[in-house]
Chain A
Amino acid sequence: MKGGLFTSGYGPILIVVVALAVLPFGFSANTTLNFLGFVLIVTLAAQGWNLLAGYGGQFSFGHAAFFGMGAYGIALAQVRFGLNPWLALPLAIALGALTGTILGYLSFRARLRGSYFALVTLAFAEVFRILANASTFTGGAAGVLIPLRIDAANFQFADKRSFYWLALSFVAFVLLLTHWIARSRFGAYLVAVRENEDAARALGVDALAVKLKAITLSGGITAAAGCLYAQKFLYIDANLAFGPWISVEALLAPIIGGIGTVFGPLAGAVLLLGLGEITKTFFTWLLGGAVPGIDLVVFGVLLILCVAFAPRGVLGVLRRILPAFRGGRA
């Protein structure tokens, strides 16, 4: 690669990842580490969504389908087949990617676009949720409990920081991957398909192949987030793994952070979950008891504010007011 670390755009990624990596030395409280770990899981799921929707323009409302495939994949491989979770991890990611390919093939070949594609993804996620809730293989409504055996060789860590760093390495890898894709031919084709599919085809872009590649990668990345989720909480059920909450957070984070940018999902997840947490704490303090769903109200307000005033997300606003941020554009 010609040019230095910063002109090629990898510099900002390095800085952000290092800053996040040293964060646990500042906090020792388990609750904070738990929260940060969860933020990274949502970031990873959102990065998967951002690749397909932010860069490729194919808006999915059902990324829970991939998240759940990852979560159930890694959990069932251990519980039903006795596989080591480290071995189950790549299999579960592959399962998510394959789900992406199949879903993409069915909908893109039928030339579904825009809201039709969004509805089909939503339908897939819901069908998976209902099936996982009904089938005995997936543990039905009782869900799947991964037996507690704390050992790094067993993907369960005594030190919360280890999990955090592991999740961070996933996020860092996808940051690099996204940046690399954005500067590659595949990335240019992906954006071209987003902007105008017919014009892209006229220029030699195989739109179907490009979209299939994107949804496969997207499915794999979001499935990895599902794997981390399952290993963090050691329990999943149909509503956790395939529920609409993750579909919503996976799309809200990039939209609020900055859609179609490398850092958008990370910035959005931090802001979204951070504000949600602060609001919850504030209302508990104010009223002396938890107000269920108050964080969802915050999400809704954030989304409205973003759509109205910051269509390019928080990073877009920062870039407008701070010239220093312009250099880091993907």
Chain B
Amino acid sequence: MSATPLLRCTGITKRFGGLVAVDDASLDVEAGSITGLIGPNGAGKTTFFTVIAGFAEPTAGAVTFRGRDITALPAHRRAEIGIARTFQIVQPFAGLSVRENIAVGAYLRHPGREAAMARAEDIALRLGLGPMLDQSAGDLTVAGRKRLEMARALATEPSLLLLDEVLAGLNPSEIRDMIPVVRAIRDSGVTILIVEHVMQAVMQLCDTVAVLAQGRMIAKGRPSEVASDPKVIEAYLGHGAAKRMQAQQGASHA
């Protein structure tokens, strides 16, 4: 493993009144990796994600990016230093065209209109949005909007891309189409942290997976290791599930 990871979260805790949504969770994202963050519903994934993206401040803990403490850095400043995010519930600029939507992201590195528009077009083509460039973003399908979310984030030319359930709400064939897109983004040199519900996608895409359950990190490792971890199986399927599964497997092998 390299010396310092691109992103390091240490001891992140987030309380909402009496509720502890994230409890002393730590996570490293290595440069060049696709890291997955999974967990059952209500595990605190989105809260953890929001803290990393700078849309909420943690009650305790620190977020460092390239060794620099960014815990208190506002969201727009994080975009400037190279952290981009998408939204789980897509947030297109509905009144604007696809091109204009992506250009808002592109303006961050290209202040001139023509350069920003050209850049937007490039990225749209890369993400398969070429034919919809002049369409209103409000008219896109769900799959189109998810792509637009990624395109806009990529237009800010990030070194770390935070994807919040970009596959949720897609049908299996759309998911199959999306997986190579995500992989291509990583291959272009962008590190990816992906919060995801769709297990099949996580298994295929991620180098490392971290599992959050009831606000705590309960497992970390390669996807295959994590998937067979009894703690993880119990977190998803309930107490005693791991034992029952083992028993069943034992019975079928016999």
Which of A183, A184, A203, A207 has a CB less than 8 Å from the CB of B104? A203
Report if B169 contacts A (CB, 8 A).
Answer: no
Name, among B95, B104, B114, B116, the residue most crowded by chain A CB atoms within 10 Å (CB to CB).
B104
Q: Is the CB of B87 within 8 A of A207?
A: no
Q: Which residues of chain B (69-116) have a CB below 8 Å from chain A?
A: 74-76, 79-80, 84-87, 91-96, 100, 103-105, 107-108, 111-114, 116
Q: Could you mark each residue 126-154 of chain B with 1 if its beta carbon is under 8 Å from any beta carbon of chain A, else 0? A: 00000000000000000000000000110
**CA of A189 to CA of B101, assembled, Å:** 10
Q: How many residues of A contact B (CB 8 A)?
A: 21
Docked complex Cα distance between A198 and B103 (Å): 16
Bitwise interface map of B from 42 to 78 toward A, beta carbon under 8 Å scored 1, else 0: 0000000000010100000000000000000011100
Contact of B103 among A2, A188, A196, A202 (CB under 8 A): A188
**B90 nearest in chain A by CB position:** A199
Q: Is B156 an interface residue (CB 8 A)?
A: yes
Chain A minimum-CB-distance residue to B105: A203
Closest Cβ neighbor of A196 among chain B residues = B91
Q: What is the CB-to-nearest-CB distance from A177 to chain B, in angstroms, rounded to a whole number?
A: 16
B104 A188 Cβ-Cβ under 8 A: yes
B111 to chain A: which residues have CB within 8 Å?
185
List chain A residues, Cβ under 8 A from B75: 201-202
A275 at the interface (CB under 8 A from B): no
Chain A contact residues: helix, strand, loop or mixed: helix
**Contact A202:B94 (CB < 8 A) given known A183-B113, A185-B113:** no
Name which residue of chain A comes closest to B103, CB basis. A188
Interface centre among A184, A198, A199, A202 (most CB of B within 10 A): A202
Binary B-proximity of A177-208 (CB < 8 A = 1, otherwise 0): 00000011100110110111011111111110
Q: Cβ of A202 and Cβ of B84 under 8 Å apart?
A: yes
Q: CB-nearest residue of chain A relative to B104?
A: A192
B53:A200 contact, CB within 8 angstroms: no
CA distance A2 to B112 in the complex (A): 12
Q: A195-B92, A196-B92, A200-B93 are in contact. List 17 more A-B contacts (CB 8 A).
A: A2-B114, A188-B107, A191-B96, A192-B93, A195-B93, A196-B91, A198-B55, A199-B91, A199-B92, A201-B75, A202-B53, A202-B55, A202-B85, A203-B79, A203-B104, A204-B79, A205-B104
Could you list 7 A-B pairs, sorted by A, with CB under 8 Å? A185-B112, A188-B107, A196-B91, A198-B55, A202-B53, A202-B75, A204-B105
- In the complex, the 9 A-B pairs of residues with the closest C-beta atoms, listed nearest first: A204-B79, A195-B93, A199-B91, A204-B108, A201-B75, A203-B105, A185-B107, A192-B104, A206-B76
